[in-house]
A and B are shown apart, each in its own frame.
Chain A
Amino acid sequence: MNTEQPLDRLLKRLPRHATPARDLWPGIEHAIAANGQRVNNRARRGPRHLAMAALVMVAFLYGLTHYIDNPGPGASQTLNGDALVTVLSQQHQAQLTSLLAAVHDTPAVTSDWTQQLDELHDAAQAIKAALAKDPDNRTLLRMLQNVYQQQLTLVERVHAPQWQRI
């Protein structure tokens, strides 16, 4: 007896359409109208916000790279490994929050970017766990810096206007 046949028969008869219990159009129409207003506002201010966020990001990462490569004579006294990781993480979080706020109304080009962001976050957590055991490991610090940079670049790229991605 072929037990798969009933399933295939039922699949062929499966209706293509289903009807929602409530009228969904009014909510869609309202959201479209509200979004049109936001898009108009963003067209005036959006690109400038993105550019400023990108500029701050570049300045922060430049300073970070310079610090890790050349900590300076008094640096080890004022900022040891643990404290450095804490400061890096706090500054990165502030930067990421600011960037996410800047792109909040901009549609993303992919739907899974938050998942990718979470995966990078998990990677950063793993590096920080390793740094907790070896706080002055410059290679780990560079890796952490790299992951943070990837997070910022990801957010920026998926929200960049189409003409910027060409």
Chain B
Amino acid sequence: MESTTAVTKLSALPESVQEKDPLICAAQQGDVQAYRTLYEQYSGRVFALCYRLTADRALAEDATQEVFIQVWQKLANYSHHSRFSTWLHSVTANITISYMRKQKGWWQRMLNIDSSGEAQQLYATHCSSEIDLEALIVQLPERARVVFVLHAIEGYRHQDIARMLGITSGTSKAQFHRARQLLTQWIGGAEHEH
């Protein structure tokens, strides 16, 4: 059932698989201006993913830069067999997680089973009439948030998430359900208030 929650599946992106995008080909040949155009096309989605994974705007900006610097270096590896956006998002997720690992306390945050007081932080962030799901997602505990973003928003399978994060598939599923429970509880509380 959980796979039905993936609302922004990568496969839904409107992009031709068969034809080679001349912009990508030009960037692969070292055309920086072409690469800048690609950056302008895709940076919004890359930044959104980085922000949801890191839950920190400044860190997400740094991670987005890191992604586009590394993608430039890896661009020759893109073979046009899959959608560019699919490839880009896969690279983005891996680079951002790797970037987050380098931040102080990553392993402590990832390995901690729970963080106390997580539910109390909620109501300060969305007192407006519209529930801001983005604001709720970034308040999830780190491991639950990363799993939720990768599975529910980006459409990754739990096996893939497990491999990316160095956890088991069962842990990924458990964290996903935990994230859903927390979000559902917070949304319910907010709706009740309104």
Contact with B along A1-29 (1 / 0, CB 8 A): 00110111011111111111110110111
Please give, as numbers and ranges, the residues of chain B lying within 8 Å of A20 by CB-CB distance.
43, 47, 57, 60-61, 64
Decide: B48 and A21 in contact? CB cutoff 8 A.
no
Smallest CB gap from B137: residue in A: A14
Q: Contact partner of B65 among A15, A24, A111, CB < 8 A?
A: A24
**In the complex, which residues of chain A have a beta carbon less than 8 angstroms from the beta carbon of B166?**
112, 115
Size bracket, chain B contacts: 35 or more
Interface size of A in residues (CB-CB distance below 8 Å)? 31
- Given A4-B184, A17-B48, also A24-B68 (CB < 8 A): yes
Is chain A's binding surface mostly helix, strand, loop or mixed?
helix
Q: How far is the CB of B187 from chain A (nearest CB, A)?
A: 5
What 5 A-B pairs have minimum CB-CB distances, sorted nearest first? A17-B44, A18-B48, A111-B98, A10-B133, A11-B7
B65 near A107: Cβ-Cβ < 8 Å: no
Residues of A bordering B, CB below 8 Å:
3-4, 6-8, 10-22, 24-25, 27-29, 31-32, 35, 107, 111-112, 114-115
For A29, what are the chain B residues with a Cβ–Cβ distance below 8 Å? 32, 36
Q: Which residue from B5, B57, B98, B188 sits with its C-beta under 8 Å from A6?
A: B188
Pairs A–B under 8 Å by Cβ, sample size 29: A3-B184, A4-B184, A6-B184, A7-B5, A7-B133, A10-B131, A10-B187, A11-B133, A12-B7, A14-B8, A14-B134, A15-B134, A16-B45, A17-B44, A17-B47, A20-B43, A20-B47, A20-B57, A20-B64, A24-B43, A24-B65, A25-B36, A27-B65, A28-B39, A28-B65, A111-B95, A111-B98, A112-B98, A115-B166
**Closest beta carbon of chain B to A123's beta carbon, Å:** 15
Known: A14-B153, A17-B48. 9 other contacts (CB 8 A): A4-B180, A6-B184, A6-B191, A8-B7, A11-B152, A14-B134, A17-B47, A107-B70, A107-B74
Give the shortest distance, in Å, between A143 (CB) and chain B (any CB): 23
Q: Measuring CB to CB, which residues of chain B are less than 8 angstroms from any residue of chain A?
A: 5, 7-8, 32, 35-36, 39, 43-45, 47-48, 51, 57, 60-61, 64-65, 68-70, 72-74, 94-95, 97-98, 101, 131, 133-134, 152-153, 164, 166, 180, 183-184, 187-188, 191
The B contact surface, by secondary structure, is helix
B184 touches A35 (CB 8 A): no
Contacts of A111 in B (CB 8 A): 94-95, 97-98
Partner of A35, one of B73, B134, B180: B73
